[in-house]
Every structure is written in structure tokens, then in C-alpha cells.
Structure 1
Amino acid sequence: MPTTEPLELRKTRATADTTDTRDPFFDNAKFLLIVLVALGHSWEQISYGTHALQSVHTVVYTFHMPAFILLCGYFSQRFTGRPDQVRRLIEGVLIPYLLFETAYSAANSVVRGEPFVLTPTEPTYLCWFLIALFLWRLSTPLWRAIRHPVPIAVLISLAAGLTTMGYDLALPRVLMFLPWFVLGLNLRPEHFALLRTRVARRWAVVALVCAVIGAYRLIPAPDEHWLSMDAGFTEFDMGRPQYLAVRIGIFALSAVLVAAFLACVPRRRTPFTALGAATMYPYLLHGLLIRVCEAAGLYPVLKNLGLTGQILLTLGVVTAVFLLSSPPVRKVFRPLVEPRLPRGAVPVDQRSR
């Protein structure tokens, strides 16, 4: 939410230093975030008109992608553009992007009756994150070479929202979410250690509860495009100064909620810790399950059940993420999710560095 994957969605180290052991905290965070991604995509099928669920959905969207992207940046600190690193980036992100871009275009054609047209430069559904990660990762050496990278990334993000660019290569999201990736590049273990205290956890719970209450009072606002970062100021009925003020406010609120979420993540090994190293699978596959449920007409039934339907959907999604992360599923889908290029393309001395 996707080294070379969303959240290092492949087998990556859990810390940016040279230790050989994985930190359960990061694997726990990655798994919980991928659960929230799947829940967010599923809840939006039934949340409109259901005040409480829509509030929770809004809060989740305020922080889950920023947190996802921040961790991607954190685990990209070693990327220097070496041939072996670029190879892993192509294998772990670009090729799966092309494969699942095709799969989701086909699914939308079958389920929604949309024309089946392959346009790899215009990402479909959740595939936007893969092409964004590919571009962010390639830009890592640039951000490591300049002074004050985070403020510069923030300025680029705000400026991008003032343009009328199209959706080629998901550029609005690439640029507007960019500060979170760059921030992750500049974080150190001691920064995360600040959140590993009892006091931080207590305040984190307070922040999350207040956010849900605030979202409940604001529903039906805000417009979902504010949090999805896929639209510029021309999509909103306001001037540039007001737009910039709202964007800065969203940055601040997201930062608080990202910190709150991370403060609540378990520090020790849990039953799902090991699954945090394989989050590419549920990330790429859960959207196809959503399309299957759409085709089966499941969401209107669940919505009509009210709170019972919301609970059933939530439990079903969590269960699905566990199953999609399991070894049997990974074995079946590994050729699509973790393809391998012919090994002769990279010199042996480069691969062994």
C-alpha cells in the first residue's frame, strides 16, 4: 500500500538499518494498513447514506494512504538506482502493474459493462498506487541529493493542486501524495520510537476518537476527492487561497492521524505479523473480489441489512485479507504478483553487491 512494493510489498527488511532481524512493528503496520485499504474500498460500496460508517470511512481515508506511502519512503532509503535495484523494482512493481491493469480493465468490462480498452498510462482503480510507487522510487536519489526535501515536496504537492493536469500516470496523486514518500525517506528509527510509549498510545486513541466524532458532524462533507488527492482546485467551488488553506489543514490532520495509527500498532509479534511481508497479494487481489461481489449483487443486500450488513462486510473483508495473504494463495498467484525476469540481464557483480 506496496524495496519495490507497496509498503515493501515483497520480502523486504523491516528496518532501514543493517540489522538482520525484522521488526514486528513494521510488519504489523503493513498488514493493518492493507486491511484498512481493503475495508475502505469495500465500505465505499455501502457507506453512502449510512452516517456512522461513512464517518469511519472518511477518517480511514485521511490517514491510511499517507501512512502507507510514508512507510514506502522509509523502506526506500537504500535505493540508489543500481541495476539490481531497478530490476527488482521492475519485477515487483512495473510488471505486476501491467498485468493487473489488464485484469482490472477486463473486470470492469465484464462487471460494469465498460469498454475493454488498455491504456497503461491511465491507471485503473487501485493500480494507480503501483505506478506512483514506481515513479516515487525512481526519484529517490534526487530527494537524497537536495537540501530541505520535505518542504520542497510539500510545495510541489500544493502547486500540483493548482494545475489542471490530466490523469496520465496518475500524476495528480503522484505529486499530491509526494510529501509522505519524501518524509518517509527522511525518517529514522528514533522517530518511530517516539510513538512507542504509553502516553503516545493514550493520546492516539483520543485523536482517533475525536476524528471520528468530527467526521460524523461534517458528513456529508468533505468531498472524497480532498482525501483521494485525484483532483485540483478547479474541481472545488473555491478560490486558490481557500484551496491551499484546506490542503494545508488536511496535511496537518493526516500527520496527526498517521502518528496516532502508528502509536496504536502492536510492537510484538502477533498472529498476523508474518503476513505483513506479503501484502502485495491482498492489495492486488482484493479489488477483483470486490468486482466479483458487485457482479453477484452482494452489496445492495448488505446495505439493506443495516448495521448487521456492515458488520458482516467488515468481518468478511478482514477474513479475505487473511486468506489472500496465506501461503496457498501466494503460491498460486506468485507468477503474477512476483514475476521474475531472465537473470542474464544484470551482471553478477551488480547482483551480489
Structure 2
Amino acid sequence: MTRESSLETRGETFFLNLRFMLIVTVFVANAIEPLILEMSGLHTLYQWIFSFHMPLFVLVTGYFARKSLNGAAGRKVLLQIGLQYIIFQSLYSALDVSVFHVNNIHYSFFAPYLLLWFLASHAFWRLLMLGMSRWSKSAQFAFAIAAGVAVGYLQLDGIWFSISRTFVYLPFFVIGYHFSFGAFVKLYQQYVKTAAAAASLLLLVGMGVLGHYLPLGWLYGSMTYMQLGAHEWYAGVFRLAVYGLQFAASLAFLGLVPYGLSRMTDLGRRTLYVFLLHGFIVRAAAVSGVYAYIGNAAGAAVLLVCAVSCTLLLAQPAVKRVLNPLVEPSVDWVISLRRAAIRRSL
């Protein structure tokens, strides 16, 4: 095995480990959200998670996208993202109306349903990277930062087409796409990795002490400056500051991620199933009234254990075997229809 292929294999292992750790934080954050205004400890945990988990998830997505961005492979991925979006946007919306009876949600294919913003933005990130393919890396990153700051000035609701998060998190997709695992390994020697891990845990403590000075809306990335109540012309400076926090928090969290191949690595291959399905569990728990019985540290601990356990459950191979047609729908029939249409037009 050549040095390059060895680094590529190690990099894939590292990012699969990271991906599973991140999906755990996604499930935990969504599970504890109904309680963050009532329990300060959960609010601190929630804020700490939001300081890095979406930026890093976008970075990981960019890292794995470089193998399938162009050509037939890229078109196939875009088609599959589109089908996933249609399927789960329909499912979640239908259940909200018929079973969960949830109010105050935009039911429109142009307004991604809660967690499904990631699918819409993923498609746009790929298209944007294709459009920037002839630019230098520095130009791509400069544009991504500028667009992330500028989108906040738009006078509209940032959820439509997931326009706000698409541009706010574009810098992390660009970084992931060009990420050099070799350079990362050289930098993150054991003592640096340990220091980064310690910094991440220190940030958790810091969030508990100073987190009330940072409104959560700035960490969501889904709102414009108008919606965040920042009407000043220099509101973009606040976003640059939040970028600084997210970059630092992400670098720190990477110190907690193991390099080695393990059971976690295999689980990291099926995080899509956790991501697309966990919303049903969280929504069912919310409407069941179970949160009314969680009011102390013991109840919060049980909730955290349940969230991690459900993450492990949804990442099992059996779930993939049963739900593969739903979560990873085949797009071959779409491609066949397109080819047939082209033949008929000739």
C-alpha cells in the first residue's frame, strides 16, 4: 500500500469515526431541546454541541463529496438527494398534520422541514462547488465567507430553500472538500490532540459560565440579521465572530476523535439512517408528554442514555437492510427514463 492510499484509508476511518460522534450529538441536541429553557445544564450542553456539530457535519460532507462531485456519479448523488428530500419532506409533513398535530410549521417543499434543511443545502453545496471548480482554493473560501456574511442582510425568512444555512455553512463544505488529512495528522500530534480535546471540554465549561451572552439563533445559521434583531449595518461582523467561535470549537472537538478503526467506524457508515429517521422518534417523544416527567438531573441522564441508545439502534445493519429503499432510494429508474426520453427526441 502506498503512502497516499494509506493516508486516504486512515482519513476515511477518522472521518467515519467523526461522523458517528457527530450524529450522536445531533440526536442528543434534538432530544434535549424541549428542556433547555428549564434546565441550565442541558442548555449548556446544547449550546456546546451547536458550536461545532453542524459546521463539522458540513465539513465531513464536503470531505466525502469530492469522490462523487463530477460526472455521472455526481448527477446520481444529486438525484438521490432530491428523492430523499421529496420522500421525507412528505412523510414528516404528513405525520405532523395527521398524527402529531404540530402547529407553526411551514408545510411547503420550498421550506425544508426542520432537519431536512441539510438535504437541500447539500444539493446546493455540490452545485456551488461545481460552479467554483475553476477557482483557486483561496478564492472559493473567500467567496464562501463573503456569501455567508452577506446572506444575513437579505430581507427574507432564511428557511426558504434553506438559503441562509446553505451560504452560512458553505465555508465548512469548502474546507472539507479540500481537507488534507496528511497535513492534519502532522499538526495533530498526540500532545496537540490532547490539548485540543481539553480545549473542547473547557469550552463546555465556558458555555455554562458565559453562554448566556450568545443567543442560540446565531449558532443555528438559519436566520437573517433582521430575524436575529441585529439591524445595524455592521451586523456581519457578528457573523464573523461566530465563525471564529465555530472554527475554534470544531478544531477543539477534533481532538476527541480517535484515529483507529473500531466498531464506531462501521457505525459511521450508516449515519444517514440515524439522521433521516431520528426525527420521528424525537417528535413522538415530544407529543407523548414524556418531557413533563423530566425535571431533575436523573431524568436528564436517562434522556441522554436513551438518545445515545437510539442512535446506536438506528445505525445497526438490520435497519439499513429493512429501510434501504426508503432512506437510499434507487435512482436508476430516473436515469433510465431520462435516457429513453433522449432517445425518443433524437
TM-score normalized by the length of structure 2 = 0.88
- Determine the structure 1 residue equivalent to 2:342: none
Give yes or no for the alignment of 1:99 onto 2:90: no
Q: Distance in 1 between matches of 2:100 and 2:184?
A: 43
- Determine the structure 2 residue equivalent to 1:4: none
Give yes or no for the alignment of 1:244 onto 2:236: yes
CA 1:256–1:219 in structure 2 vs 1: closer, same or farther (change >3 Å)? closer
SS in 1 for 2:66: coil
**1:110-129 matched pairs, under 5 angstroms:** 110-114=99-103, 118-129=107-118
Deviation at 1:19, TM superposition (A): 5.4
Q: Is the 8 A contact 1:83 1:346 kept in 2?
A: no
Q: Is the 8 A contact 2:93 2:107 kept in 1?
A: yes
CA 1:269–1:21 in structure 2 vs 1: closer, same or farther (change >3 Å)? closer
CA distances 1:183-213 after superposition (whole Å, capped 9, x unpaired): 2122212232145421222221332233122
Count how many residue pairs are aligned between Structure 1 and Structure 2: 330
Gaps of 5+ in 1: 1-14, 348-353
Deviates more, 1:286-295 or 1:243-252: 243-252
Give yes or no for the alignment of 1:320 onto 2:310: yes
- Determine the structure 2 residue equivalent to 1:75: 64
Q: Distance in 2 between matches of 1:299 and 1:208?
A: 29
Deviation at 1:111, TM superposition (A): 1.4
- Determine the structure 2 residue equivalent to 1:42: 31
- Determine the structure 1 residue equivalent to 2:280: 288
Q: Distance in 2 between matches of 1:18 and 1:141?
A: 25
- Determine the structure 2 residue equivalent to 1:56: 45
Gaps of 5+ in 2: 340-346
Q: Distance in 2 between matches of 1:89 and 1:255?
A: 28
Give yes or no for the alignment of 1:155 onto 2:146: yes
SS in 1 for 2:249: helix
Q: Which amino acid counterpart does residue 149 of structure 1 have in structure 2?
A: Q
Indicate which of 122, 129, 142 corresponds to 1:133: 122
Q: Distance in 1 between matches of 2:59 and 2:197?
A: 21
- Determine the structure 2 residue equivalent to 1:31: 20
Q: Which amino acid counterpart does residue 83 of structure 2 have in structure 1?
A: I
Q: Distance in 2 between matches of 1:17 and 1:27?
A: 15
- Determine the structure 2 residue equivalent to 1:307: 297
Q: Is the 8 A contact 1:107 1:291 kept in 2?
A: no
CA 1:117–1:57 in structure 2 vs 1: closer, same or farther (change >3 Å)? closer
CA 1:17–1:79 in structure 2 vs 1: closer, same or farther (change >3 Å)? farther
Deviates more, 1:262-271 or 1:57-66: 262-271
Q: Distance in 2 between matches of 1:216 and 1:116?
A: 31
Deviation at 1:237, TM superposition (A): 3.7
**1:211-230 matched pairs, under 5 angstroms:** 211-230=203-222
- Determine the structure 2 residue equivalent to 1:7: none
Q: Is the 8 A contact 1:89 1:134 kept in 2?
A: yes
TM-score normalized by the length of structure 1 = 0.86
Q: Is the 8 A contact 1:79 1:141 kept in 2?
A: no
CA 1:17–1:107 in structure 2 vs 1: closer, same or farther (change >3 Å)? farther
Q: Which amino acid counterpart does residue 77 of structure 1 have in structure 2?
A: R
Calculate the aligned-residue CA RMSD, in Å: 2.4
